[in-house]
Amino acid sequence: MSFNQGSSSPIQPLSLGNVVSAGLRLYRSHLKEYFLLALKAYVWLIVPFYGWAKFYALAALITRLAFGELVNQPESISSGQRFVNSRLWQFFITMLLMFLLSVGIGIGVAVLFIFSGVLSAVLFGGIGQQGNPATYILFGLLTIVVGIVVIGAIFWLMTRFYLVEVPLAIEDNVDGTSTIGRSWELTKGYVWRILLISLVAFLITIPIQIVVQIISTILQLAFAPLLQQNSVVFNLLFVVLIMILSFASGALILPFWQAIKAVIYYDLRSRREGLGLKLRDYEI
């Protein structure tokens, strides 16, 4: 699926409600197919490295299929699988690079907190001993501000990489490295809007998470007397049931998130590159 990237005049962006409702329609219309793909993806997580790449690719495949529906170019699952499987190791490269990037961000945050701790020791060990309340208040406010800035920066970075696997699953001439830059390019200037869409989408998934938590609690209470016997059979059965529940609940939620990504990706490409398509008039 490749489109011209000519710079035509961008269309009016979809509203938050349109993005979420389009994602919901896609999710409902193709729930069975997307659920089975997502379930297969979660099962692959059991296999280290290769299985993780398969999970990443299958999740991206859902977005590819959803995007095809949006642009009125539906694609069979087998055709989409052939495409993403041909780039399987590129997905692994993307996953590895994103992991390293996350580690780097984590180290940066840790260094910042260590610096804050050292600064705190200097202030409270020196000026703070003089009992000046203004110093405590100033440092407290500074800590709050720095904390907010750090959290905001983390969310900002996460959102800039929100679409990393999508171009790799849809566009030609994209590899495991350039797809990261493609996500950075597409999300430029729309971080807080994407965050708001993600928040609304998260709120929609809360009922599913509550049901899963209730079932999980019931299982724990039911197995509690059996687990106290330290029986290998009961322990294994409990782990398997929890794993099945986790995989099934994840397979219910993942397609919705990937459908939302497809709509966001469509919207960003429409405005930046003028796909000339009209999602608003297209009933899924």
Render pLDDT for 225-248 as a digit per residue (tens, 0 to 9): 877 777 778 788 888 999 999 999
Report which of residues 118 and 26 the model is more confident about.
26
Say whether 259 sits in a helix, a strand or coil.
helix
21-79: per-residue pLDDT in tens? 999 999 999 999 999 999 999 999 999 999 999 999 999 999 999 999 998 899 999 99
Share of the chain above pLDDT 90, in %: 61
Residue 278's pLDDT is 46
Is the pLDDT at 120 greater than 90, yes or no?
Answer: no
pLDDT at residue 161 above 50? yes
Question: Whats the size of the chain, residue-wise?
Answer: 284
Q: What's the chain's average pLDDT?
A: 86
**Segment 130-146 mean pLDDT:** 73
Nearest Cα to 33, choosing from 73, 75, 86? 75
DSSP secondary structure code for residue 130 in this structure: G
DSSP 98-122: HHHHHHHHHHHHHHHHHHHHHHHHH
Q: Which two tokens stand for residue 233?
A: 């059979």
Distance CA 181, CA 157 (A): 12
Bigger pLDDT: 140 or 123?
Answer: 140
Q: What's the average model confidence in pLDDT over 159-173?
A: 95
Q: Is the pLDDT of residue 4 over 50?
A: no
pLDDT at 203 over 90: yes
Burial class (CB in 10 A: 0-12, 13-18, 19+), 40: middle
**pLDDT of 281 higher than 70:** no
Higher pLDDT, residue 5 or 176: 176
**Lowest pLDDT segment from 7-16, 89-98, 195-204:** 7-16
Domain boundaries, the chain: 16-281
| Residue 282 pLDDT class (50, 70, 90 cuts) | very low
Distance, in Å, from the CA atom of 198 to the CA atom of 26, rounded to the nearest integer, reads: 16
Provide mean pLDDT across the span 127-138.
63
Would you say residue 279 has pLDDT above 50? no
pLDDT at residue number 7: 37
| pLDDT reading at 117 higher than 80 | no
Q: 16 falls in which pLDDT band (50, 70, 90)?
A: confident
Answer with the residue of higher pLDDT: 219 or 167: 167
